[in-house]
Structure 1
C-alpha cells in the first residue's frame, strides 16, 4: 500500500508539471501572435498615411476650369471699368463666373424680349407671319434702320430679325408694345428665374434714364439662359431652334467672336451704350459636338480696351475648349 500510494503521488506531480508547461506555451504563443498583429496594424497605418500624403491628381475637367478662370481674370484686368464674366463649356458641373453683379444690359436685354415673343407664339397668342403696325412713337435712333424706312407695318418674323440680328431699337419698341408691354416681359424674365434682370424702359428712352430707370441684367442670368437655349431647354423644339437661328449671322461680330467666327458657329447678341461706357456680348460657340457659352458685361469703361479684352478672351476660350493652339 505504501508503494502504491507513492507511485500515485509521483504520477500526480508529473501531470501537474505537464499542465503547467502547456499553459506557458500557450501564453508564449498568444504573446507572439499579439506582436505579429500589432506589427501588421502598424504597417497598415503607415501605408494609409503614405497614401493620404500623396498629391491628388488633377482631373482634365478641373484643369480646364482653372484655365478658364485665368482667362477670365486676364480679360477683367485688361478691360477697363466693371467687368463680369460667365463661361460654361456644358461639360463641367458648374460654370466659371467672375464678378457677377447687376449691370446695364444695353441691347442684351433683347434676348429676353425674343423669348417672350416665342413664348406667345408657342401659346398660339402670336404668329411669325402676323402683321404688326409700326407707329411713329416707337421709331427711335441708335442702332437699326427701321426708323428711316417708310413702312407702316411689318411681320413679327421681320421685327424679330431686325431686333436680334441688327439690334434695331425701333423694331424692339414695336415688339414690346405688341407683346403687352414692359410688365409682360418682366413676368417672362421672372418665369425664367433670372433674378438680376429687369426691363424698365423702352429703347433710347432718355427721360426714363434721367429718372434712374435703366434695363439691367447679370452675366449669370444671361449665361444660364444661353446654356438652356443651347440645350433646347427654354421652350423646346422647334422654338429654341428658331431662336438660335435668329442669333446666327449677327451684324456685330467685333467682340467675343472677332477672332474665331470663321472657325466655329456663333450665336450671339451684343449690347453697347457708349454714353455709359457699356460694351457687352453674349455668345454660344459651337464646333462639331462641343459647345461653350460666354458672356461678358462691361460698364464704366473704355471701348477700345473692353473690345480688345473680349476679343482675346474669345480666342483663349476657343483654344481651351476646342484644344487648339
Structure 2
C-alpha cells in the first residue's frame, strides 16, 4: 500500500536550525516571530517538513495553525535539548498535516523490528505462515544484546512466541530467527518497498558486526515510521484482524523509559524503542491514545549522549500529551 497526501500551501517562518542538530552554524530562538514570505509544500511522503523554529502563519483554520505551532515548539525544544542528530515526526491520527523536523535517513536500531513484524503478518494473511508454526532456533542466530532467548536452553518456539519476544522484549535472537523464517532480508525489504518507505532498509541481522564494519546498517526515517504507525493505528495497513494483533504486541512493550515515561497513565500507548549505544542511538516510535483522540510521535536520535536524548524524549512526550489532551 502506498501512502498519499493532500497538497496544501502554507507560509512558514524562516528560522535556521539550532545547535548540534543543525546544518547551519547560526542559532536563533525557536520562539522568534520573524516570518518569511515564501511558500512551502509537503514532501512526497505527505508530511510537512520544517527547520527548527519555523512557524506556521497560514490563513487557514486558526485551530489547526495553533496546533501545528504548538507541535513545532515542542519539537524544537526536544531537538535543542537532545545531543547529536535528532529527527521528529508528530501527527494527530488521520491528520492530513503531519509535522516532521529534520526528516532524513538515520540508524534504526531496533525500531526496524516493526517492519519485520509487518512482513510476518503479511505472510500470515497470505496463508504462507501461521502464528502456531513451530520454528527451530539455530545456533547461528543466537546473539546477545537485548533479550534473553540467547541464554535459554530453548530449541524451538512458535511464530507467535517469537513475535512477542521480538516486539515486547526487543529480543535480538528471536528477531534473527524470524528474519530467516520469513525468507531473509530481500523478502522483508520488498514489503518495506510495498509500503512506500523509501528511507528504510534492512541490511543486516541483529548484532552482525561484520556487516557493520562493511558499512551495512539498518536505516529508516521518522516519516517512514510515522506514516506506517498512522496506517496501523487506523487499521489501514493489513486490515482486521492483523493490524489489531500488531497493535496488541506494541501495547505491552517492556521499554517505557522514553516517550511514554512522563505521559499520564490514563493514555494507552503502543510503542517500539531502539538503542545502539555504540553509535549514540536512542529511538522511540509511539501511538498515544486517550478516548477518541490519538497521535503518533517518532523520535530518532544518533551520535548523541544517552541521558540527554532520553530526557528530551520524555519531555516531548509530556508536552505532546498536554497539547493533544488538555
TM (norm. structure 1) is 0.81
Q: In structure 1, the residue corresponding to 2:135 is in which secondary structure?
A: strand
Inter-partner Cα distance in structure 2 for 1:148 and 1:74? 41
2:16 counterpart residue number: none
2:144 counterpart residue number: 141
**2:309 corresponds to 1:310:** no
2:254 counterpart residue number: 251
1:93 Cα deviation after fit: 2.4
Inter-partner Cα distance in structure 2 for 1:261 and 1:278? 26
1:55-96 Cα deviation digits (max 9, x unpaired): 968611110111000000000010000000000012542101
Count of residue pairs brought into register by the alignment: 269
1:159 counterpart residue number: 162
Alignment of 1:203-282 (within 5 A): 203-260=206-263, 262-282=265-285
Q: Which consecutive unaligned segments of at least 5 residues does structure 1 have?
A: 1-54
2:123–2:129 contact (8 Å) kept in structure 1? yes
TM (norm. structure 2) is 0.81
Q: In structure 2, the residue corresponding to 1:111 is in which secondary structure?
A: helix
1:118 aligns with one of 114, 118, 121: 121
**2:156 corresponds to 1:177:** no
1:263 Cα deviation after fit: 2.2
CA separation of 1:57 and 1:156: change in aligned 2, threshold 3 A = closer
Q: In structure 1, the residue corresponding to 2:190 is in which secondary structure?
A: helix
Q: In structure 2, the residue corresponding to 1:199 is in which secondary structure?
A: coil
C-alpha RMSD of matched pairs (Å): 1.2
Inter-partner Cα distance in structure 2 for 1:167 and 1:238? 23
1:202 Cα deviation after fit: 0.1
Q: In structure 2, the residue corresponding to 1:252 is in which secondary structure?
A: coil
Q: In structure 1, the residue corresponding to 2:248 is in which secondary structure?
A: helix
Inter-partner Cα distance in structure 2 for 1:285 and 1:133? 36
**2:326 corresponds to 1:300:** no
1:61–1:92 contact (8 Å) kept in structure 2? no
**2:133 corresponds to 1:127:** no
Inter-partner Cα distance in structure 1 for 2:113 and 2:283? 12
1:148 Cα deviation after fit: 0.6
Inter-partner Cα distance in structure 2 for 1:145 and 1:58? 51
Runs of 4+ in 1 over 3 A off after TM superposition: 55-58
2:94–2:234 contact (8 Å) kept in structure 1? no
Structure showing greater radius of gyration is 1
Q: In structure 2, the residue corresponding to 1:301 is in which secondary structure?
A: coil
CA separation of 1:64 and 1:151: change in aligned 2, threshold 3 A = same
Inter-partner Cα distance in structure 1 for 2:191 and 2:155? 28
1:5 counterpart residue number: none
2:25 counterpart residue number: none
